[in-house]
Amino acid sequence: MKIVSTAEALREQLGEWRRAGDHIALVPTMGNLHDGHLSLVRIAREHAERVIISVFVNPTQFGEDEDFEKYPRTLERDKLKLKKVSVDLLFVPEVATMYPFGIDKATTVTVPALNQELCGSFRPGHFDGVATVVSRLFGLVQPDVAVFGQKDYQQLLVIRRLAEDLNLAVKIIAGPTLRDEDGLAMSSRNQYLTDEERKIAPELYRVLEKTAEALHTGNRDYAALEKSAVEQLTSSGFKPEYLSIRRAENLDAPDRDEDHLVILVAAHLGEARLIDNLLVEI
Ligand code: PAF
């Protein structure tokens, strides 16, 4: 695995691979890798001769009072983890490589169709930061495919939308959410949980499953289902931001006869802000 941190070195290696006719798959991450990330790398490998993983804790997607400073930076451990999978290149840019004109003067990308609601309303500017950094990674790498986890469902739709809207020649692939045995979705932020909170955390997925079950049995009173789910989470010790049933395709409010739904949830548990979602095909 080659490790590269500058745009020049990246371009040089990409040129060599492209001249050889290789396709390139990109897995963007913020590091602190877990098995969920490794599964995205394995998916990438099925789609291209060359796999690049990027590790960059992107400052522009964190709000002022969020965890940018304390976000776990574990590059040496990440490198060891990557030995378990097949990666050709690890791209670890500095802020100046990702934002050559500085963050204040950076050209930004915004996806107004999806950036204000759900997580966007609790984390103003977050999806603009994501769209901006992902566009920059796409510009630097020009991948044929890029793989993102379905756990960040709204992020996935934002990225799909920006790629389609800007006519980018990159295919966006979703990797299924990996879960611990008790159902908790794998996430870098799970490590903020205390032992006690870790025992409560899988309740988030159980509430999603219960809500999905109700939808499957014909209950389409979305507002009542959402209210009851939020109450269950609150009584388990979470501070829920939202639990919302939406159209899976575009996060619009669903009609009563919608077949493709997604239930999305964000809730605080102690120091951790956890998100999860469940697709429901009726
Ligand atoms: O999902 C993440 O880890 C980040 O939001 C991403 C897509 C790497 C952009 O910084």
Positive or negative: CA dihedral 113, 95, 38, 32: negative
Which residue, judged by its Cα, is nearest atom 2 of ligand 1?
A: 29
User: What's residue 124's pLDDT?
Assistant: 98
Is residue 28 lining ligand 1, measured as CB closer than 6 Å?
A: yes
**Domain of residue 50, residue span:** 2-175
Quick check: 232 and 211 in contact, CB under 8 A? no
Q: Average pLDDT of 198-208?
A: 98
Q: Are residues 45 and 71 in the same domain?
A: yes
| pLDDT digit string, tens, across residues 104-145 | 999 999 999 999 999 999 999 999 999 999 999 999 999 999
Residue 171 lies in a domain: yes
Residue 281 lies in a domain: no
Q: Are residues 77 and 128 in the same domain?
A: yes
What global pTM score does this model have?
Answer: 0.98
Sorting pLDDT into bands at 50, 70 and 90, what band is 251?
A: very high
CA of 29 to the centre of ligand 1 (A): 5
Residue 181 lies in a domain: no
CA of 30 to the centre of ligand 1 (A): 6
Residue 183 lies in a domain: no
Residue 245 lies in a domain: yes
Ligand 1, closest atom to CA 29?
A: 8
Q: Which of 23, 34, 37, 47 is catalytic?
A: 37
| pLDDT digit string, tens, across residues 215-237 | 999 999 999 999 999 999 999 99
Q: Are residues 6 and 131 in the same domain?
A: yes
User: What's residue 106's pLDDT?
Assistant: 98
| pLDDT digit string, tens, across residues 35-93 | 999 999 999 999 999 999 999 999 999 999 999 999 999 999 999 999 999 999 999 99
